[in-house]
Structure 1
Amino acid sequence: MWRTRSMLITVLSISQISIFAPLAIAAPETIHIQPQRHIPYLQFDGQIEAIKAATVSAQTAGRILKLNYDVNDTVPEGAALLEITSKEQGAGLAAAEAELAQAKARNIESQAQFKRYQELFPKGAISKGAMDEATANSASSLQAVSAAKAKLIQANETLNYTTVNAPFSGRVTQRFVEQGETVTVGQALYAGYSTDNMRAIFQLPQQYRQLVDANANITVELNSGLRISSTDINPYVFLQTASQSYQVRINLPQTDAALSPGEWVKVMIADTTTDQLIIPHSAVFQRGDYTAVFRQKNDKFVQTQVRLRQIDNQQYVVEAGLIAGDKIIKRATKYLLNTEKSGE
C-alpha cells in the first residue's frame, strides 16, 4: 500500500511539472538591417480635372419642348440633349427655298436676254446702253442666286439648332433650363465634361522644378490605391502669383477606373536614388501612436521605438531608431504573442 501511494505522488509531481513549466519558445526569425538602394518618391496633393468640358448654349430662340437628359446622366456623342420649337425656323427655311427658286428663275431670264443682246449688239440692233443694262442684270442675277443659297443654308442651320446635340460623350454636370421655358440665343442650356479625357493638376514648389524636368513619367495614385503612370506632362513655365509655385498638368491615359473632376489624388515624383534602411511591415509593432521593433541587445530582444516612413503596404523606410547592422525580429506580432503565452 505504501508503495502504491508513493508511485501516485511521483506521478502527480511529474504532471504538475509538465503543466506549470513554461513552454519552450522557438528561436525567432531575425533580419540584419543593411542599407539598400532605394528611389524615394516625393508626394504632392493633386486634383482630377476634365480635359474636355463645355457649356452648351442656345443658337436659336424658342420654347423648350423636351429635355432628354438631366444632371449626372451619361450622354453619347451627338445625342439630342433637348428640342426647341421649330415653327418659326421651319417657316424661315420655306421662305429661303422660295427666294432661291425666284432668284434662279430671274437669273435664267437675265442670262437668256444677255445672250440675245450679245448676238444683236454687233449688228447695231441694240444700243450701247441696252447692252450695258443687260450685262449688269446678268451679273446681278448671278449674285442674287448666290445670296439666296447662303440664306437657305443659314435657314437650314437655324432649323437644325432647334435640336441641341451633345458635342462629345460625357456626363452632365448642370442643367440651366426647364421644359416649357423660352430661351434666347446665347442662353446656357447644359454643362458637362468628357469622361474619356482626364488629367491631374498640382502645384509644384520652385525647388522641385528640376525633378519634373528630369522625370520621363509621373505616377498618380487614386483614392482606391490604383496607380496610373503618365508620360504626358505639361509644367507651366511661369509661376502662380498667389502660391509662387508652378502648376503642372498630367494628362492621364485611358483607364477603366472611375475618375471624377475635383477628386483628390496623390502625385508621386521620383527623387534622387539614395541608400536607406528598409524593413518589412511584419517587423513593426504598433499601439496607437507608439511604433517599435524588437531589436537584439546582447542575448535579448528589446522593444525599440522607431520613426518610419511608409513606402507601400509591404515596406517602411527607417528614419530614426535603428542603424545599419542592427538585428531585429522579422515577425514582431507573432513574437509578442508567443512571449505572452510563455509567461515571460
Structure 2
Amino acid sequence: MNMNYESKISGEDVDVSTLEDGDEEARSRKPLVIAAIAVVAAILAVLAYQLFFGSGEAPPAESQAPVVTVVIPGTKDVVRTINATGTLAARREIPVGVVGEGGRVTQVYVDAGDWVKPGQIMASIDRSVQNQQVARWAALVASARADLNLAQANLDRAAALVERGFISKADIDRLTATRDSNAAQLRVNQAQLGEARARNNFLNIVAPKGGFVLERSVEVGQTVSAGSGILFRLAQNGEMELQAQLSESDLANVAVGVNTEVIPVGTDKVLTGQIWQISPMIDSQSRQGIAKIALSYDSALRPGGFASARITSGSTVASVLPESALQNDSKGAFVYIVDKDDKAVRRDVVTGPVSSAGVSISSGLNGTERVVLRAGGFLNPGETVKPALQKKEAGA
C-alpha cells in the first residue's frame, strides 16, 4: 500500500513539502488583509461622518438652512420721473422771404446769430428803376394839382360874373365838371404814387417780428424774387422748445405746465423748461407722441440738435427695493419674503418708477415684510431659511 501511494504521487511530480508551505503562507496573510479592509472602511466612515455632520454631535436640522439677507423696506414718497429725448427747435419759427417784386440784393444787414427788432431792415434790393417810377408819378401828381388849382380859379371867377349876366349857368356847369375831373385825376395820380412808394418799401426785407436769426440764405449781388424761397429764418423772441418723444403710457402721465429739466447733448448745462403743448396724436408705427417743452434762449440750444429731458410727473407713496431683490418669470415680477416661520414665500409685485434709490413697488408690498435682497433665484417656495436683517446705512 505504501509503495503504491508514493508511486502515484511521484508519478505526478508533486512536491508535497512545497504544497504544505504555500497553504500555510496564505493562511498567515488572510488576517492582515481583513485588518486592512477594516481600517479603510473605518477611515471612510469617519470622513463621511465629518462631511455630512461635522465633528462632534450631529447638528440640528434648522442649522442647515441657508442664510439670506433680508430688509424691511418701509414706505416713502417716490417722485415719478420720466426720461425722454427729442429734437430742439424754435418754438415759433418765422420764415422771411421776398414780399415785393424782388431784384438784385444790394445790402444784407444781419447774419445768423444776430438779434433783430420788429420792422428792422434785414436786406435791401436795388430800386433804381422803381425810384424813377416814383419820380414820374410824383410829377404827374404835381401836374394834376396844378390843373385842379387852375380849374378851381376859373370856376370861382365865373361864379362872380353869373349875377352880372356875363356867364351863363351852362358855363358854370362846364367849369365845375372840369374842376371835378382834375380833382379826380389828382387822386388817381396820388394813388399811383402811393402804390409805387409801397412797392419800393417792399423791396426792403424787414423782420416781421423781433427775434433771433437762425439762418441766412441770401448774399449781396444775388437776384431774388417772390419765387426765391426763404431768405432768413427767425426764432420769435428767441424762444426754443424740445420736442420730447414719449410713449403712450408716459404721455398719459404728463400735463401742460409741468416743470422739466433739459440737458442738450454735448453740454453739462441743466436748463429749466415747461411743457406747453402735448400732441393729441400717437404715431401708429412708433407708438409715441410728442410733448413740447418751452425753453428760454440759451446759447447751448441749437435747433436741429438733440437733448434729453427729465420730466417730473407727481409723486406717490411706495416701497423701494434694489434690483437684486426682484425676480421675473412668465407670471411677472415677484420677490421672496420670509414669513413668521422663517420660510421663503413668493410675493407677486407690480413695479413702478426706477430711480437711483432703486425700483419702487406700486403694489404687492405694504413695507413691513422681510424681503430677501439677494440669491432669491436659488430659493424655493416654502424653503426654511435663516434671515439676517441688513443694517441701514447712515443717512439712508
With over 3 angstroms needed to count, the CA separation of the structure-2 counterparts of 1:91 and 1:56, relative to structure 1, is: same
**Normalized against structure 2, the TM-score is what?**
0.54
Q: Report the Cα distance in structure 2 between the residues aligned to 1:158 and 1:269, rounded to whole angstroms.
A: 53
Match of 1:132 among 173, 178, 186: 173
CA deviations on 1:175-209 (whole Å, 9 max, x unpaired) are 1x443232234533522122622234456666677
Q: Report the Cα distance in structure 1 between the residues aligned to 2:273 and 2:149, rounded to whole angstroms.
A: 67
Shift of 1:125: 4.1
Shift of 1:100: 1.9
Task: Compare 188-197 and 200-209 and name the one that shifted more.
Answer: 200-209
Q: Report the Cα distance in structure 2 between the residues aligned to 1:178 and 1:43, rounded to whole angstroms.
A: 43
Which residue number corresponds to residue 18 of structure 1? none
Which residue number corresponds to residue 198 of structure 1? 240
Mark the runs of 5 or more structure 1 residues left unpaired by the alignment. 1-29, 286-296, 298-306, 333-344
Matched residue type, 2:184: Q
User: Between Structure 1 and Structure 2, how many residues are aligned?
Assistant: 274
Say whether residues 1:54 and 2:98 are aligned partners.
no
Say whether residues 1:261 and 2:316 are aligned partners.
no
With over 3 angstroms needed to count, the CA separation of the structure-2 counterparts of 1:128 and 1:40, relative to structure 1, is: same
Matched residue type, 1:172: L
Match of 1:316 among 349, 358, 374: 358
Q: Report the Cα distance in structure 1 between the residues aligned to 2:310 and 2:323, rounded to whole angstroms.
A: 27
Shift of 1:310: 4.2
Task: Compare 124-133 and 87-96 and name the one that shifted more.
Answer: 124-133
Say whether residues 1:148 and 2:189 are aligned partners.
yes
Instruction: Say what the alpha-carbon RMSD is for the aligned residues.
Output: 4.4
Shift of 1:246: 9.2
Say whether residues 1:217 and 2:257 are aligned partners.
yes
Which residue number corresponds to residue 35 of structure 1? 75
Q: Report the Cα distance in structure 1 between the residues aligned to 2:116 and 2:287, rounded to whole angstroms.
A: 38
Alignment of 1:1-344 (within 5 A): 33-58=73-98, 59-70=100-111, 72-77=112-117, 79-121=120-162, 125-167=166-208, 168-175=210-217, 177-188=218-229, 190-194=231-235, 196-202=238-244, 211-212=253-254, 215=255, 217-224=257-264, 226-230=270-274, 233-235=276-278, 239=281, 250=292, 252=294, 254=296, 256=298, 258-264=300-306, 265-266=308-309, 268=311, 270=313, 273-278=315-320, 310-311=354-355, 315-318=357-360, 324=367, 328=390
**Normalized against structure 1, the TM-score is what?**
0.61
Matched residue type, 2:257: N
Shift of 1:218: 1.7
Per the alignment, in what secondary structure is the counterpart of residue 270 of structure 1?
A: strand
CA deviations on 1:50-77 (whole Å, 9 max, x unpaired) are 133233222233222334445x442433
Mark the runs of 5 or more structure 2 residues left unpaired by the alignment. 1-69, 325-337, 339-350, 372-388
Which residue number corresponds to residue 27 of structure 1? none
Per the alignment, in what secondary structure is the counterpart of residue 187 of structure 1?
A: coil
Contact 1:206–1:244, Cα closer than 8 Å, also in 2: no
Q: Report the Cα distance in structure 2 between the residues aligned to 1:137 and 1:253, rounded to whole angstroms.
A: 66
Contact 2:103–2:125, Cα closer than 8 Å, also in 1: yes
Per the alignment, in what secondary structure is the counterpart of residue 263 of structure 2?
A: coil
Per the alignment, in what secondary structure is the counterpart of residue 217 of structure 1?
A: coil
Matched residue type, 1:226: V
Contact 1:219–1:227, Cα closer than 8 Å, also in 2: no
Shift of 1:139: 2.7
Q: Report the Cα distance in structure 2 between the residues aligned to 1:202 and 1:258, rounded to whole angstroms.
A: 17
Q: Identity over the aligned pairs, expressed in percent?
A: 19
With over 3 angstroms needed to count, the CA separation of the structure-2 counterparts of 1:164 and 1:229, relative to structure 1, is: closer
Matched residue type, 2:189: A
Pair member with larger Rg: 2
Contact 2:245–2:291, Cα closer than 8 Å, also in 1: no
